[in-house]
Every structure is written in structure tokens, then in C-alpha cells.
Structure 1
Amino acid sequence: MRNEVIMRRISYRSYRWEVVYYEGGKRYRRRFVGKAGEDGAEAFRKQKQEELDDHGSKHDPITDEERRAVHSFREQAAAMEGTPTPPKLQDAVDLYFERAGIRKRSLTCSEIAESLKRRIAAEGRSEVHQSNVTYRLKAFTDKYGEWLACDVSREVIDDYLTHLGLAAQTVNNHRRILHQLFAHAIREGATSENPVTNAVKPKVVSNRTQILNPKQVAELMEKATDRLIPALAISYFAGVRRSEIERLDWADIDLEDQHIEIHAEKAKSAKRRIVPMSDNLKAWLIPHAQESGPVITSPAIHRNELQDLAAKISFKIPANAGRHCFASYHLAKHENADKLARALGHPDASLVYNTYSELVKPRAAATYWAITPPSHEKVTAIRNQSNAG
């Protein structure tokens, strides 16, 4: 081995020991009178061996392969002449070992996903948010979980997103979580770049918000089962998200002071909010009120009953109809986007206004907020009205 320091016995004049080694591609030898002692051959051999070991192959001669690599670099650098920053061989070497180091300590996508979920939980994010992240991460890790994070390229992300077969907004929701995943991978030192940054991003066509008219909402409430009515009423007349209603307890509903408290751990935004209760919502809740206990005892049964209800009515229920109806009719009645945004738990009042303004007219809003159960004002009476305004 060229980096091995050899000590051997000789007989040359007064010298009896010789140390032979290679350094910088050249062969050296040094003679000694004696073997032991600070000035002896053994001490020098150990010192020189440590030096060569510390420097590794620094002093090895340049090989033919390395020489060809230098020539190749010079040729390619010459072809790039005139660029603002001329390439340097050291930069290429540094980049290679940086990436090699990242690959050596990289983690699989599944490991990064689990680490991200732990971080989100430690940050106190809501259960709804954690559930959403877990669901979207699983879809990705089911396919790429065993891949090292540093091996996932923009092309891989493009292929994954374009083959999801989902609506543009839903694809972008997946894309957002993946960007979060690889941003976490960078923090963990598992990769150096986020492959999602320049990945495909479907254009979302903004459609007009779909809502029900008062006659349709009245029919919906009339045909709902007793078990469905509280959740439906809270959705349509308080705008509470379905995921939040599924975690809502009767103890959070104050019929006397007329408000609903959405605790931070139950809110999508992970922030506590107080939702005012309208008079007609109070009327719908009173017959079913309890001191405590879940408003929805079984989310699965609740969703099945919603499907049964949809089969009984004469119209199709748009997505998020309850929340959209509440926001549209609330803004038409109160003309206060800030107040509505607080009730919805939305941080941007201007976005709320742009989304829900001018969807309904004041007369229709008055009819909507007059929808009450049969013991107050007959629901069927409202159903028979035309959609005023």
C-alpha cells in the first residue's frame, strides 16, 4: 500500500535502520543510526504513519482516471465561457460530497412522515388538521414510503399528482401537504431541496358558491329525523363545520345566553371561538337539548342518515351547503363581514365578503331566518312560499 510507512534494517556506513514512505507521489527514505529513542527510526515511522493516515490519500499520486476527470472539467468549463460565474472544480467536488453526505443520513419518506406528524401534534394543531395531514400523507407513503427523501424529484411529484385523478383543488390540497413534508425533510437534513416547489399545480376554476333557497332548507329540516335535526340546525343556522359538529358536546351549547363554544382542540383552526345562536336555531335545539353528551353520537351513523335524507328530498345538496347557506344568509341580513368571519372562524373577512356577498337578497334572508320547527312556525308554510328575492 502506497500510504504504508515501512521500517527496515540496513547496513550503510553508520546507519542501521531506514524508513521508507510515499508522499505526493514520490518515494522517500530516511536513515537512522538507532531504532529506539526520540530520534530513532521507530518514533519517526509512527509519526509519519499518523500524518499520512490523517491526510488519507492526499499525498497519493494523481491517477489516470482523476487526470481524465480534470481534463473533462476543463473542456466543459471552456464550453461555458462567458457565464457570469465561471465554474470551479472545487465547487463541483463540494457539491458532490454535500449530496453524498445528505444521502448517507437521509431518511425514508415514511420516516419523515411520522416525524412530521409528531411535530404537528407537539405544536398543538387541531385533531381535524392532524387527521387531514395523516390522510394525505398515507396516500403518498403507500406508494413512495420506502424511497429516501433525497431521491424524490420534481418529476416524481408531478407524476404522483397528475395521476391522483381528483379535482384540481383536491390535488392542490395534497400538494400543500407534500410541500410541508419535504420542508420538514430539509429541516431534518434528509434532503437539500423541496421537490414540490416547482411541481405541477393545477389551476382551480372559481365557481359560484352553491347554496339552497329557504324553501329547500325548510324541506330538508322537515324530513330530517329527530337524531339529525340538532346537527343539521347547527350546520345551517350557525355555520359550524361538520368535523367540528362531530366533536361538539351539548355542554358547549348555551341556550340561555344563545351561543355555541367551539373549543380550540375541536376547531379546524385550533383556535377557540364563540358562535352566536340565532332565535330560530334556539327553537330547533330546545326540543332535543341535553345537559351534556355528544351532539352526534356516531359520525358513521350520522353520515348514513344524511345519505338517507338526501334520497328523500327533491333536490341535490351542494357540498358544504350548511356552512355556505349560513354565511350567505347571515351576510345578507347583517351586512357585516367581520362579524361573519368571527362566527365562521375564518381569518380573512375580505375573502368571506367576496365569497358570500350578493348571493341572496334581504327578503330571502328574512325568510331563511324565520325557518322554525312546527311547534313555532310551520315549516311547511315556508316550503309553500316561493323563493322571495
Structure 2
Amino acid sequence: MTQETPEPTDTEVKFPKRIKHRGRVLATIYGKSKSYPSYRVAWTTAGRRMMKAFLRYGEAKRHADGLVKDLAKGSQVTALTGGQARDALAALERLQTFYQATGRRVSLLAGISEYCEAASKLHGRTLGEAVEGYLRTVASVKRKDIKETVEEFIAADEPRTKAGEGKRAQLSAKYAYNREIQLRRFASTFPNTAVCDLSKEHLDAFIASLGELKSKSRNRRAATSAKSRNHYRAAIKQFLQWAVRKDYLPLTHRLLEADAMRPERANTAEVTFYTPKELRALLETAEGAMRAIIAIGGLAGLRTAELLRLDWADVWRVPGHIEVTAGKSKTRQRR
């Protein structure tokens, strides 16, 4: 049987006992006292003073000797408490498991830094909630070039410009044609760009560029007025809403919140009209159906497209009135 080395008595050891390395004190052992009935080892690491208590001097001495070796090597392990050391080891085990499952190596510092950065943006929500929300929206979005997507949108809407037998087309062919021009110009501005990669900055830049385009006229006036820019905004809005339904954009894209997408107040010119004398001259000069069109347009205020959809039944159906049915009205409301 081996005999244990007897513990030295407090009279045999002079306290505080300083443990040195190359003449430099790196740890200090304090003896028992009335206030502290245990041996205490104190050391400083990373600017923090640390202390640990032991019931026996031998345990305190062995711990102090080990500390001095670690401190002399510049190790930061001595700055950790027991609980912190256990947490660090458990975290490293999780990272190793992650590496084995995915093949991706992530350092403990990188993992914690990324977590803290993400958590600071979630306003109290957990990362799990954020990931679930992401998977319900962004993760299901299909990547498709904006030029191809615009052509798909145009083709998908073309049947609406065709009128069925005895019915009015759902979409004006002229309106669809103008919208095609607007959207193709929009798509050509961002070549090799997926719809899901569009940002508010893209929309701001495009709307701003419309004011820089010049017409072919001699006075070189801007090609797009405030009213025209509003038409572009409407076309882009329709396209983006369709892209959401087709999963080319996430539901939470918020592109329509771009500053440039807010409608402008168009500076409309003063409305002019024919005087009674001028209208009389037009009626006296016109012949046949044209005289009826001028009379109804001038006196009832119908739009040209609405006039062309009328037949005599609409004129005589209600005595003293011209009826514009919902199917013939621009607003699709009877009046």
C-alpha cells in the first residue's frame, strides 16, 4: 500500500504563497482564516481577477501549478469558469456533429457571431420562427429572368384581349399593347436579372430614368410626363402582383413600397371644349352616322370607345336617355 503525502500545516507554509514562472508571480495561494475556512487560489487572466477555493492545501497547490503552466503558455482557458468550460465543450461537440452531417466547418466564434447578429434583427422572435417564415415564402420562390417573365405575363394576358361572340373583351387591346411596351422597356433595363432579385433601388432607378428619355421631336422634350410615369407604375404593379401568384416573387417582397412607386399628381392642362357655335358647325358639316356620333359625344359626354360600342337600341330603350350598359362602359358600370 502506498502512503499519502501528509498535508503541510499552515505553520510550514508561509501565506500568501506566490507561484512564479521565470520570476513573475502568476498565481497566489491564500491560507485559511476565520473569515475564509478554505484555501484560495487567485490569478488574473484577460484582465479579470479569478479565484477558486479548496478544502485541502494539496489540491490548491496542484491547481495553482497547472494554472501557472497554462498562463505561461498564453492560454485563455484559465479565464473560463467551470460552467463556461462545459458550455464551450458542448458547443464544440454540436459544431462537430453539424460538420459530419453537412460537410461545413463553422468555428465557435463564427457561429455565435452569426447568431447574435440574426437575433438582434428579430425583435424577440426566435431563429426557429424566422426560419419557418423563410421556408414558407422565400424558399419556395422560383428564379426566372425578368425578360422571360415579362414575355410570359404578356402571353398569359393575351386571351383577355379577345372578345367572345357577342361579348366585349375583358382587356382593351390598345391598353394591352401600351402595357407591353412599358414592361418590355422595364425588363430591358435590367438584363440577366431574376425577378426575385429585384429591389426597391431597381424600381427607383427605372422610374428616375424615364425622365431622362428624350423624344424624337426637335424640341427634345422629356418623353414621359407625370401621367405617363403613373401608367408605368400601374403596369409594373400588375406585373409584380402576377409574379407573386406565379411564385417568381415572395409574398413579402415589399417592392411596391419603393419611393418611386408612389403615384405622382399629374399637372393636367386646362380642359378645353367646343363652343356652341363650333359644335353647330361640326354638326352641319357632318353626314350620316358621323353626325349622330358628334351629337351624342358633344351633348352627352361619352368617350369615343363607348360611342363606337353603342347601337340604336341603347338610344331608344329609355325615353329621353341614352343608356350605356356595363358591358359598353369603360368603367364597366351602367349609367
TM-score, with length taken from structure 1: 0.44
Q: Identify the structure with bigger relative contact order (alpha carbons < 8 Å, sequence gap 6+).
A: 1
TM-score, with length taken from structure 2: 0.50
